[in-house]
Amino acid sequence: MQQFDVLIIGSGLAGLSTALRLAEHKTVCLVSKRSINDTASDWAQGGIAAVLADDDSIESHVQDTLTAGGGLCDETVTKMVAEHAKGAVEWLIDQGVGFTRTADDQGFHLTREGGHSHRRIIHAADTTGHAVQTTLSEKVKQHPNITLMENHIAVDLITARKMSSSANQPPPASDYHSDANACLGAYVLDKTSGKVITIAAQNTVLATGGAGKVYLYTTNPDISTGDGMAMAWRAGCRVANMEFIQFHPTCLFHPHAKSFLISEVVRGEGGLLKLPDGSRFMLEHDDRLELAPRDVVARAIDFEMKKRGLDCVYLDIRDKPLAFIEAHFPNIYQRCLSYGIDISKTPIPVVPAAHYSCGGIMTDDKGRTDIKHLYALGETACTGLHGANRLASNSLLECLVFGQTAAADILSQVAKPSPQLPYWDESRVTDADEEVLITHTWDELRRFMWNYVGIVRTDKRLSRALHRIHMLRAEVDEFYSNFKISNDLIELRNLLQVAQLIVESAISRKESRGLHFSKDHPQTEAEPIPTVLEPLNYDSLLERKAG
């Protein structure tokens, strides 16, 4: 067993910023599923929303967020985040992040994205996430109080309740765990050796990102498999608003362009959405045109594609000179060029793709979950900021602000010893004799989630999806119980759990709101009510008894 003050699972912006804020006073273990920079944060193009200009206001940022959120944002949390935004950006600048400056070098260049009433997006060209990620990861690697475990994937959380229900382990006697449930650490698979290690920690932070890989088409990296959401649910945490999956309107449509996002900034700087004949279509869908919130634009594109039998639509930025395009979208320009698309001369073929999970593990304004000493930050959490639809460039901001509040809460606690935790028992399992089940199940899941639980939903489609999920979960649970675990098996198990939560949440919402659009329930109810799912049995996940 390894012991640390804080265990952080996930190495995106939420995990990195929290680790750095804690490391001066705590020993930290940072677990990364792949390399430290293989994260969704690293892929983020647009920027970070913050009130930095004199003609902008925190009230305006709050109102834009509330409007996009379809009535489900927590106004208190939204205001807190907006108020802390400037400080969060200044902290990144102090860390050495090189944001794009104005042409006269008198300040930072601010751009505008859909749903924002002002230019308030600070960015590093069109690779903001990469600039932030690489800057902070280098600091993490060099910090003596941070132990980095790359190529490790968390298997499950260890809680006092699970230990109490194990026949081989008495309940912990320490008053440190006097609450009904508390997180004590986690089991983590070393993907290189294939061994599962036990990590004990006074506090555990889930910063594992979203679950975009539950869909066939996504802008997310392969690591986005809903691990934190699934682990927290199995441990006994509530989840909220899981039906609100944001489909980014503009993912590059090309057979070799895997998951490449065309940033919203392209539309913010004048890019126009067009049909193959060159005509614009947003005029018929929303008065805000190309700068409408993402759910509106994604549904408009989906509608036009289905109505006309199109494979894609086009995003046209040709009105801007080449020098402007190269300066503002260097990464997009070069990537498209590598596929034979010169965006200064040719419109960009785009389609919607699953992009962001607005729901997740329920937390308070400090990132605390239902389980004591367990925090959830970033996309894996439901803080109340995003409501029914996330406003563009509020995601990286949320990681920073809640990383700060969670770290402050952890630092305020009195340190107490961790109990001895049980090791991972593999004495009753064997090596898998047939891995094809994992591959085929993953493919089937992603396809029917795309077809049945996509941008437009119906009761019949949702019912079919849930039926298939139950069948697949039974097969995978049996496989999990009898064979040694692997990275692919862990991810598939988590994706099936998250898929079930998404579908059950969607079925329970008998209206259309934000990112959830139902053809059977097209109306929007007068009173916005969050969807909250609560585990029926907190002790349901003890498949393997501790030894």
For residue 8, give the CATH number of its domain: 3.50.50.60
Count of the separate structural domains present in the chain: 3
The span from the CA of 89 to the CA of 410, in Å, is 22
For 273-307, letters b (16+ CB in 10 Å) and e give bbeeeeeebbeebeeebbbbbbbbbbbbbbebbee
Same domain, 223 and 151: yes
For residue 265, give the CATH number of its domain: 3.90.700.10
Same domain, 184 and 302: no
Same domain, 368 and 228: yes
Residue 526 lies in a domain: no
| Final residue belonging to a domain, choices 378, 411, 444 | 411
Same domain, 190 and 255: no
- The residue annotated as part of the active site, out of 294, 446, 461, 544, is 294
One-letter amino acid at 421 equals L
Same domain, 163 and 256: no
Same domain, 133 and 22: yes
For residue 458, give the CATH number of its domain: 1.20.58.100
Residue 158 lies in a domain: yes
Q: Give me the domain span that covers residue 510.
A: 436-521
Q: Which of 150, 246, 237 is nearest to 190 (CA)?
A: 150
- Indicate the DSSP class of residue 133: H
pTM of the model as a whole: 0.89
Active site residue 446: no
Same domain, 253 and 238: no
- Indicate the DSSP class of residue 108: B
**Tens-digit pLDDT string for the chain (547 aa):** 899 999 999 999 999 999 999 999 999 999 999 999 999 999 888 899 999 999 999 999 999 999 999 999 999 999 999 999 999 999 999 999 999 999 888 899 999 887 899 999 999 988 999 999 999 999 999 999 999 999 999 999 999 887 766 544 444 434 334 456 899 999 999 999 999 999 999 999 999 999 999 998 899 999 999 999 999 999 999 999 999 999 989 999 998 887 788 988 899 899 999 999 999 999 999 999 998 888 889 999 999 998 999 999 999 999 999 999 999 999 999 999 999 999 999 999 999 999 999 999 999 999 999 999 999 999 999 999 999 999 989 999 999 999 999 999 999 999 888 788 989 988 778 777 667 888 899 999 999 999 899 999 999 999 999 999 999 999 999 889 888 899 999 999 999 999 999 999 999 999 999 999 999 999 999 999 999 999 864 343 333 323 2
β-strand pairing of 239-240 with 272-274: unpaired
